[in-house]
Structure 1
Amino acid sequence: MSFDPAFFWDALLRPSGPFLEGLWRTVYISVLAQFLAVIIGLGVALMRRSRRRWVTAVAGFYIWILRGTPLLVQLVLVYNGMAAAEIYSFSDVTLLGVTVTGVFQAALVTLAVNESAYMAEIIRAGIDSVGKGQTEAALAIGMTPRSAMRWIILPQALRFIVPPLGNNFNAMMKTTSILSVIGVDELFLNTQAISSTTFRTFEVFIVAALYYLMLTTLWSFVQAWIEGRLSASAGVSRPPTIRQRLFGGGRAVVRAEAP
């Protein structure tokens, strides 16, 4: 079957309802999972910095397990494995008139927990990048360790946390395609359904690839803006340009500091 340009351009410029629904679901499940991952990751990162060895060991084991096993295996274990072992079965729930399917719950939990292991290390590295003198100065003026972390350390650590966090979020939007194995009707699964009914596999999946590319490119602009604001407020080297982010090459421009 030859390539059909008319079908391709129609699918690209006038995507069907199911295709757009899958695209939207890919976006909001990525955002929700990343939000939860940052919260969980912050807790695990603080555990990793605890003075109690058993707390550090638990956090380290958590990160080791999640980073050392494939996300696909974790997804099947959470949704299918837990139900088969009669540990927990995800079922549809209704919240404020909105029905949240069991597969969506399992997908969200798995993505968030898996990503939290990476966020924990990113946040821990960001906190460690802030000089110890900042903590000592905060404690010296009467702040508690918790207040110092919240108001002094974390705001400064953001500049180191945001770039890898943004890169991980970009990767997550593409990783959502594996959710199709448990029946989450995101972009990839809906594209498969359209391909099955139209028999235009090549054209349909090129369109899907272009929409994934659009999502990651748009996020690159957002990430560049956020990093630029953080760098400007700190008076440090500028982050990579959009061209450098998308195509590579070049170096960050160092901001000249006043004597």
Structure 2
Amino acid sequence: MATPTLAPGAQLPQATTDDDVEAVPLRRPWRWISAVIVLAIVAWFVATIATNPNLDFGTVGSFIFDARIISGVWLTILITVVSMVVSTILSVVIAAMRLSSNPVLSSVAWFYVWAFRGTPLLVQIVLWGYLGLLFDRVRVGIPFTGVEFWSIDTNTLVTPLVAGLLALTLNQAAYSSEIVRAGMVSVDEGQREAAYSLGMSPLYTFRRVLLPQAMRVIIPPMGNELISMLKNTSLLSVIAVLELYTQASIISSSNLKQVELLIVVSVWYLFMTSLLSIPQYYLERRFGRGSSRNLPPTPFQRLRGALNKRKPGPAPAPPTMITEVVGE
């Protein structure tokens, strides 16, 4: 019996029968109904805010880039960055102390976390702001001997800004240390044993073997803590630190536009938190490379893929006819 031989690139026509099954997508009417309801609620909310006669949007626009607001934004960013960097370094030290076999180190670290996590952040800010009521001067010398090498007025050294930095940093270090400790515990114990078998010291093992692997677990909650730190700077208004919320409160106390200034503050906080989410996203991708074979595409990669799909592709090659028939 003759067997047809196809030229390179040729395809045989596919046979069609009357028994072919046509796939019909499952209908989900409630998906569209719920989407319409949600869009209607959002449209109602936006229309209510936009047509509210009690809101002066002109005031919002005039103060969104006010010099006092901008200075508060920069101070908020400065406090957030300094507090987060110092608290992260301190949290690594505290986590290492918690995991240490030395009972003194582990006990001191436990007490630190217990004390700072167990009291409200607002109380800690006020206590640091009122430190001058407890100690009139900060002295460096030999205790119980009267020998004093250096002394300074407490209120001169611990200004409201310094008090706010101390409160935010020490409080955040307690929370971040538990995140770091959880990340360290998530690393397989065999990694530590293998490092010790190679002659690595505990500190070197912690720094070069355990910590890099724990970053995959540490980065997501630390990103959330960074955003929380940014918003917690508004609590420093109780000790008169001129950050964003304090500046807006000062302005609103003079023009009685409290709601409008709160909208200005909210817009700036939303903008800053959106910017901080970008490096968090890419850090999660970087440290998650070893746990996933295929990382999900970034938003830019999705956009580029969508644009490439819209471009017309090359025209298909015409079918090639059968050129040779080989018989028996």
Counterpart residue number, 2:11 = none
1:27-68 deviation line (CA, Å, top 9, x unaligned): 110110011111111111111111122322221111011001
Q: Tell me the equivalent position of 2:59.
A: 7
Do the aligned residues in 1 keep the contact of 2:121 with 2:171 (CA within 8 Å)? yes
Classify the secondary structure of the residue corresponding to 1:232: coil
Given that residues 72 and 178 in structure 1 are in contact (C-alpha distance below 8 angstroms), is that contact kept between their aligned partners in structure 2? yes
Shift of 1:224: 0.8
Change (3 A) 1:90 1:217: farther
* Residue-by-residue CA offset, 1:2-33 (whole Å, 9 max, x unaligned): 32222222323xx1111000011111101100
Q: 1:26 and 1:144, CA in 2 relative to 1: closer, same or farther beyond 3 A? A: same
Relative to structure 1, the CA distance from residue 196 to residue 62 in structure 2 (aligned partners, 3 Å threshold; closer, same or farther) is same
User: Is the 2:132–2:155 Cα contact (8 Å) retained in structure 1?
Assistant: no
* Superposition RMSD in Å: 2.1
**Does the Cα contact within 8 Å between 2:176 and 2:222 map onto a contact in 1?**
yes
Structure 2 distance, partners of 1:236, 1:218, is 28
Task: Give the aligned residue type for 1:108.
Answer: L
Letter in 1 for 2:210: I
Aligned match of 1:247: none
1:64 and 2:114 aligned: yes
**Deviation, structure 1 residue 162:** 0.9
The reply on whether 1:18 has 2:92 as its aligned counterpart is no
Deviations 1:128-187 (A, max 9, x none): 111111111112122112111111111111111111111011011001101011110000
1:28 alignment partner in structure 2: 78
- Cα shift readout 1:80-130 (whole Å, capped 9, x = no counterpart): 0x211126564446xxxxxxx711111111110000000111111111111
The aligned counterpart of 1:85 is 134
1:20 is aligned with what amino acid? I
* Unmatched 5+ stretches in structure 1: 94-100, 243-259
The letter of the residue matching 2:219 is V
1:231 corresponds in structure 2 to 288
Describe how 1:16-165 pairs up with structure 2 within 5 A.
16-80=66-130, 82-86=131-135, 88=138, 90-92=154-156, 102-165=159-222
Q: What is the aligned partner in structure 1 of residue 38 from structure 2?
A: none
What amino acid does structure 2 have at the position aligned with 1:40? L
Bigger drift between 125-134 and 229-238 goes to 229-238
CA–CA separation in structure 2 for the residues paired with 1:50 and 1:78 = 30
CA distance in 1, matches of 2:216, 2:181: 13
1:233 CA drift (Å): 4.8
1:180 alignment partner in structure 2: 237
Distance in 1 (CA, whole Å) between partners of 2:66 and 2:273 is 21
Greater alpha carbon shift after TM alignment, 69-78 vs 233-242: 233-242
Contact 2:95 2:178 in 1 (8 A): yes
How far has the Cα of 1:77 moved from its partner?
1.1
Larger RCO (CA within 8 A; separation ≥ 6): 2
Aligned residues: 232
Please, what TM-score do these two structures have when normalized by structure 2? 0.66
* Residues 63, 69 of structure 2: 8 Å contact kept: no
Equivalent position of 1:248 in the other structure: none
Distance of aligned partners of 1:186 and 1:222 in 2 relative to their CA distance in 1, 3 Å threshold: same
Q: d(CA) in 1 for partners of 2:263 and 2:56?
A: 12
CA distance in 2, matches of 1:149, 1:230: 17
For 2:30, the equivalent position in structure 1 comes to: none
| Cα deviation 1:197-250 (Å, max 9, x = unaligned) | 2222111111111111111121112211111121125546758988xxxxxxxx
1:237/1:61 Cα in 2 relative to 1: closer, same or farther (>3 Å)?
Answer: farther
Change in CA separation of 1:124 and 1:161 when aligned onto 2, cut-off 3 Å: same
What amino acid does structure 1 have at the position aligned with 2:234? S
> Do the aligned partners of 1:227 and 1:239 also contact (CA within 8 Å) in 2?
no
Q: Which amino acid aligns with 1:72?
A: L
Q: Which secondary structure state, in structure 2, belongs to the residue aligned with residue 191 of structure 1?
A: helix
Structure having the higher helix fraction is 1
Aligned to 2:12: none
TM-score normalised by length of structure 1: 0.83
Report the residue type matching 1:115 in the other structure: Q
